[in-house]
Structure 1
Amino acid sequence: MTICLEGQQGCAMDAGLAAVLGALAGSVATIGAALATGRAQREGARIAARAEHRRERREPRHGAYKEFIAEATRLNSEVAPFVADLDIEMDITQEMVSRWDAISDAVKEKSTEVVLAGPKSVTELALILEGLASSLHSSLNICFSFRNSEGAELKRIVRLMRGQLVTDSKNFKKSFQEFVFKAQAALDDDGSSN
């Protein structure tokens, strides 16, 4: 019921209509609060699921990186003399070739695990190191196979392969250091930058 006085242009609202409008405003506020709360809960659940996913990815990565680094460290130690000097006349023995063969195979095996663990930046470096390990092993095998050759052409090939050993050794060392830093960054990534 609305009460209007003569001469007034506006009318006052009765108590029933005011109560209905008040209840309606309260309902809208309650629905808005419920929607906001639901959205906040979904966002919290999404953040928690993402953190759990990152933790689950980090553990296998850590193991894969650790094993790969161990094998790459062994090869890095083997190639260290070639990093130092282009004119090295190191005696290449069958024992050395066998060691490099085993280490090269181990680097290849462990790089597969790193590639599967990711991320892309670490994967790319693991593949580079795997390729360098294969190239180093091939060059060493050629040097060993033709080490006592007398022909000028074969001696030239051995010199070229020794030069390739030096180049690949330096590249391996550099890429290995870069791999370690990228692996650390991948393990430290908490996803806050995404």
Structure 2
Amino acid sequence: MDAGIAAVCGALAGSVATIGAALATGWSQREGARIAARAEHVRQRREPRYATYKELIAATDEMRTTFRPFGQGGLGEIPPMNLSLVTSDVLNAANEHGERVKRAWLDTQLAGPRQVSVVATHIQDCATTIRAMVISLRAANELVSGGHQLPPGSHMEELWRLLSVAVRDLSKLLGDFTRAAQSALDHNGAEDA
């Protein structure tokens, strides 16, 4: 091969190598930027979710702690009905905790993902049940305290049982929600979480 063709081939090889290197560098930079953008997106989603989940966990735990005496019986037993435990302070606590859980539940519904929202909805339903049972039992307590008898068919024992079961369910749901929230926060964002 003569020197002219060798020079052209060398220049051509150098040009191809330079173009290849430029393409590889461009691809690498785009890939790096994509990874950085994805990491920032995951961080921006994780931080608000963390605060939202933390609030629902705190609100649920406070409600669970406040109403623990209504759910404690021996090995799966319902504690004996005691309407005198359902004071106006307990009613106020049910309303306050119920509202706080509801606000946190609404935020959790927006923060997602679906598996966390589903458990949060179960918590909200349970908190609503506790609140409704306390309202009914408080009304019965006021009747009895006022010297009246409960009307026939008032089903206070059944309401007491529902309250006890809801308080126990709230404890289980809090654990379920915490695990679902941890999973959502640990998610790397490769799929839509």
The interval holding the TM-score normalised by the smaller chain is 0.7 to 0.9
Structure 2 residue 76 is the aligned partner of structure 1 residue 88:
no
The alpha-carbon deviation at position 120 of structure 1 amounts to 2.1
Distance of 2:150 and 2:120 partners within structure 1: 39
Deviations, residues 93-144 of structure 1 (Å, cap 9, x unaligned): 1221121011101100111112222222222211111111111111221222
The match for 1:78 among 58, 63, 66 is 66
Partner of 2:50: 62
Equivalent AA in structure 2 for residue 151 of structure 1: P
Which residues of 2 match residues 44-193 of structure 1 at below 5 A?
Answer: 44-85=32-73, 86-90=78-82, 91=84, 92-147=86-141, 148=144, 149-154=149-154, 157-191=155-189
Distance of 1:72 and 1:97 partners within structure 2: 16
Alignment partner of 2:81: what SS?
A: coil
Distance of 2:159 and 2:134 partners within structure 1: 7
Identity of aligned residues (%): 38
Q: CA RMSD in A?
A: 2.0
Partner of 1:5: none
Distance of 1:172 and 1:65 partners within structure 2: 16
Equivalent AA in structure 2 for residue 134 of structure 1: T
TM-score, structure 1 as length reference: 0.83
Q: From the CA coordinates, give the structure whose radius of gyration is larger.
A: 1
Distance of 1:68 and 1:115 partners within structure 2: 11
Count of aligned residue pairs for this structure pair: 180
Alignment partner of 1:150: what SS?
A: coil
Alignment partner of 2:153: what SS?
A: helix
Unaligned runs of 5+ in 2: none
8 Å contact 1:82–1:88 — kept in the other structure? no
Distance of 1:151 and 1:127 partners within structure 2: 34
Stretch moving more, 175-184 or 130-139? 175-184
The alpha-carbon deviation at position 24 of structure 1 amounts to 1.5
Partner of 1:20: 8
The match for 2:31 among 31, 43, 53 is 43
8 Å contact 2:101–2:127 — kept in the other structure? yes
Alignment partner of 2:120: what SS?
A: helix
Distance of 1:36 and 1:129 partners within structure 2: 52
Unaligned runs of 5+ in 1: 1-12
TM-score, structure 2 as length reference: 0.84
The alpha-carbon deviation at position 181 of structure 1 amounts to 2.2
Distance of 1:113 and 1:193 partners within structure 2: 22
